[in-house]
Amino acid sequence: MAIELAKQLREGTRKAHTMAENTGFVKCFLKGVVDKTSYRRLVADLYFVYSTMEDEVGRLSQEGHPVVSSIFYPELNRQKALEKDLLFYFGLNWQQVISPTPSAKAYAERISSIAKESPELLIGHHYTRYIGDLSGGQILRKIAQKAMNLKEEEGLYFYDFDLIDDEKNFKNQYSATLDSLPIDQPMAERIVEEANYAFKCNMDMFQELEGNLVASIGKVLFAFLTSRERPGSTN
């Protein structure tokens, strides 16, 4: 009996997907409330997560792991794109000034841990991040560009999948690859469970960023209110 992993992942993570979309940070983002300080912190966090994932998937693929090597698609890799964005947001010394938030650090450590203990579970993280980025990336790119008043490409390379010509065809190919993996049903269920944990890791990051966003909005609001109270203010 065929293991329809793509379908199991899609249906098994639907609730977690909805929960992630309803975090305060994501809801603000989708409404166009994007603070550059919070956004660049998100870029930094994603850099640590993707660097870890791509290092581990690349290593296991080189070693010929029968499951992980199947989903090694270099055209999905985000590390180099994130490095360009970090250069834009933090300057030439970005490597010296960025550090992961506690949630991003825990996320990356989880990826490293399962890569050593049960590499097959990396599929859950790979699916959750890359297919999510590919599916909604262009919408988020336009929102971020407008909200932060950015030029066409600056600071938004993360959303550019230049090596993928046809998004729909690629996702179909990816789904077919998931369905052809040499795994049994118990492992498929563990991968779905891990994908849900990946959503939790993302939500933890969003919740940390949400606090930064609220603080930034509060500072702007405070500055606006105090300016109205100054003598001679025409606001």
3-state SS assignment for residue 235: coil
pLDDT in tens, 174-205: 999 999 999 999 999 999 999 999 999 999 99
Q: What is the pTM of this model?
A: 0.88
Q: Are the CB atoms for 90 and 39 separated by under 8 Å? A: no
Q: Are the CB atoms for 116 and 56 separated by under 8 Å? A: no
Beta carbons within 8 Å of 19's beta carbon, 6+ residues apart: 199, 203
3-state SS assignment for residue 199: helix
Q: Which of 54, 110, 120, 60 is nearest to 83 (CA)?
A: 54
Q: Which of 126, 100, 99 is nearest to 198 (CA)?
A: 126
Domain spanning 5-225, CATH architecture: Up-down Bundle (1.20)
Task: Quote the CA–CA distance of 122 and 218 in Å, as a whole number.
Answer: 39
Residue 170, pLDDT above cutoff 80: yes
Task: Quote the CA–CA distance of 186 and 14 in Å, as a whole number.
Answer: 20
pLDDT in tens, 16-68: 999 998 988 888 888 888 888 889 999 999 999 999 999 999 999 999 999 99
Q: Are the CB atoms for 106 and 149 separated by under 8 Å? A: no
Task: Quote the CA–CA distance of 144 and 156 in Å, as a whole number.
Answer: 8
